[in-house]
A and B are shown apart, each in its own frame.
Chain A
Amino acid sequence: MKTLMLTARRWRHSDLAWSLGRSPEAWISALVLLAYLGMAVLAPLLAPQNPFDLAALDLMDARMPPAWVDGGQLKYLFGTDGQGRDMVSVMLYGLRMSLLVGVASTLLSLVVGVTLGLVAGYVGGRIDNVIMRAADVQLSFPAILVALLIDGLSRTVLPRAVHEQLSLLIVIVAIALANWVQYARTVRGVTMIEKDKDYVNAVRLIGMGRARILFRHVLPNILSPVLVIATLSIGLAVLTEATLSFLGLGVPATSPSLGTLIRLGNEVLFSGEWWITVLPGLLLVGLVLSVNLFGDWLRDALNPRLK
């Protein structure tokens, strides 16, 4: 408990808290992010209607415009989609799915990337070469393409039923595999610098093994660059997921994400129901924008040179 108090006290006086207070973009985006998180977590409570409970749907209400447009009803504030689902509810669940996939894939790529980066940076030699060659091959295929291939191929390899259940997992793994290189390269760079620093040499002199030094001394020093990449790459992961779902390859249709909603909306774009695609689109952009805004601030705040 004491250390918690100590860290809290240290946080309040730290430059980080001070610069957070000073830059409006930072605390506004932080608040917006919290709001998004709240909406996603509390989706079942907030959503006026459960979009997956087919009984509650009324096909007659399908494709109704938002309340403020003539022909809209107050009951469906943002109108309804092609299957008569209330836009507000389906968007809340969509947000939840997008965030789930975004955060999960970021964490996975973080774990994979950081470990490989640490090993490559600290051990060096052949292992470093192998990892970096793999990173090169990976880089030749941009994130979207890698996710696409993995997702698409798993679709052809696995029988349809199995694919349905696993598709969520496949998407997360696909996006994670596409983004690990970023972490690996940065962590490798930072590790190579830190491992030659004298405080590591001092510990080597008392006979401590490489692995222990890696985790006791080097790891804490690579956390801030990793934190910055993680924040920025959540935005990227959400975008990748949305793109995959838009191309019809992402999360299963049974549990749509914002990307799926945008795709469904896009199919009816020409028959005039613009809100089905535009509203989820705006929600998505709002999410990614605030993540990037917060990430930019975090990078400058943690960057020793700019302090």
Chain B
Amino acid sequence: MSSPYLSVKNLSREFKAQGRTVRAVDNVSFEIPAGTTFSLVGESGCGKTTLARVIAGLDKPSAGSLNFAAPTGGRVQRTQMIFQDPYASLNPRWRVGDAIAEPITFQNLRPRTEVKQRVEDLLVRVGLAAADTAKFPHEFSGGQRQRVSIARALAGEPSFLVCDEPTSALDVSVQAQILNLLKRLEKEEGLTSLFISHNLAVVRFVSSMIGVMYLGRLVEVAPTAELFAAPRHPYTQLLLEAIPRIGQGRRAVAVPAGELPSPLAPPPGCTFHPRCPAVMDICRREAPALKPVAHGASVACHAVEAASQPIRFMPKAAALGAALSSNLTSGVPA
């Protein structure tokens, strides 16, 4: 395991809302080895975007620390970010060429004469045409705009890249193009990156290490293959089961009870206990700490700690055979 490029220790971020303090990010710690992609996955309100903004430096943490190791190969520690909404991540009144050139000129990464050529190279590298420099953002599709954002991020010659749901607003075929592009560029540039998403399939494709977040807390961290092969935390199992599968037809999904509680009033103790099938007394009182288990994974759950080997909280959904044939017999009730 190469030395961690970024290590996050007990990071928290609180907000004042309607007279109450809300801990959007609650005492999170993890490390990202150099040159790898670490993903944070979770549903809305779990704090992954807030955490990403703090790590990128756009927001200050309320507590905890964040330190980058010195990048290898004489590079300078610089962070760049790719955002979710392609329509808000480019200044509508600026030509894309100027937007890409700005990080270069402002941080004078290139002599003035070479800037124009550098911008054109970057555009070609992300799959656009050199002549696009003079165009305005409204002349591009969503997918093309994300390519411009990627080109602008690369222009800043970052050593660390934060991707905040970069493909959630895109259609599937365009998403595939952007994910392939990101994967290729990260390898070529040797970037270390943090990837944020609510889609486990996308996360599986891009990352080497995955952290699952629930209501501001990191409930499970594991290498990608391990997390999908043997999910340990009940919430991770719930997430994996709930994702609709393709090609297996109707499945008897054990639909998890309860609603996602509002971050304004998190339940006491382990915040997942109201929805957990193996809830114990201790779960209602005390929040479990994130403890390492086998194969480089770590999990925060009293039940897992207590049990000797992994527990199957959620029954694996049995495929109900092929989808109903077309002559409309009334289907087996799910």
- Do A and B touch (CB < 8 Å)? yes
Interface, chain A (partner B; CB < 8 A)? 197-199, 201-208, 217, 220-221
- Give a binary string over B133-170; 1 marks a CB under 8 Å from any A CB, 0 the rest: 00000000000000001001100100000000000000
Q: Please provide the 5 A-B residue pairs with the shortest distance between their CB atoms, ordered closest to farther.
A: A198-B83, A198-B89, A220-B93, A199-B91, A197-B88
Q: Give me 9 other A-B pairs in contact (C-beta within 8 A), A202-B80, A202-B83, A221-B93 excluded.
A: A197-B88, A197-B89, A198-B84, A199-B91, A201-B58, A202-B89, A202-B149, A205-B58, A205-B80
- Do A207 and B58 touch across chains, with their CB atoms under 8 A apart? no
Count chain B CB atoms within 10 A of each CB in A197, A198, A204 and give the residue with the most: A198
**Does B107 interact with chain A (Cβ within 8 Å)?**
yes
**Does B56 interact with chain A (Cβ within 8 Å)?**
yes
**Does B268 interact with chain A (Cβ within 8 Å)?**
no
- Do B89 and A206 touch across chains, with their CB atoms under 8 A apart? no
How many residue pairs link A and B with beta carbons under 8 A? The number is 49
- Do A206 and B91 touch across chains, with their CB atoms under 8 A apart? no
Contact of A207 among B56, B90, B107 (CB under 8 A): B107
Determine the chain A residues whose CB is within 8 A of the CB of B85 once the complex forms.
Answer: 198
- Do A206 and B93 touch across chains, with their CB atoms under 8 A apart? no
- Do A202 and B56 touch across chains, with their CB atoms under 8 A apart? no
Determine the chain A residues whose CB is within 8 A of the CB of B89 once the complex forms.
Answer: 197-199, 202
**Does B102 interact with chain A (Cβ within 8 Å)?**
yes
**Does B81 interact with chain A (Cβ within 8 Å)?**
yes
Interface of A is mostly: helix
Closest-CB distance, B23 to chain A (whole angstroms): 21
Interface size on B, residues (CB 8 A): 26
Q: Which residue of B lies closest to A208 (CB)?
A: B106
**Does B237 interact with chain A (Cβ within 8 Å)?**
no
- Do B106 and A206 touch across chains, with their CB atoms under 8 A apart? yes
Closest-CB distance, A9 to chain B (whole angstroms): 12
25 sample A-B contacts, Cβ–Cβ < 8 Å, listed by A number: A197-B89, A198-B81, A198-B83, A198-B88, A198-B89, A199-B88, A199-B91, A201-B53, A201-B81, A201-B83, A202-B152, A202-B153, A203-B102, A204-B58, A205-B57, A205-B80, A205-B156, A206-B103, A206-B156, A207-B107, A208-B106, A217-B94, A220-B91, A221-B91, A221-B92
Q: Which residue of B lies closest to A193 (CB)?
A: B88
Closest-CB distance, A67 to chain B (whole angstroms): 53
Determine the chain A residues whose CB is within 8 A of the CB of B53 once the complex forms.
Answer: 201
**Does B79 interact with chain A (Cβ within 8 Å)?**
yes
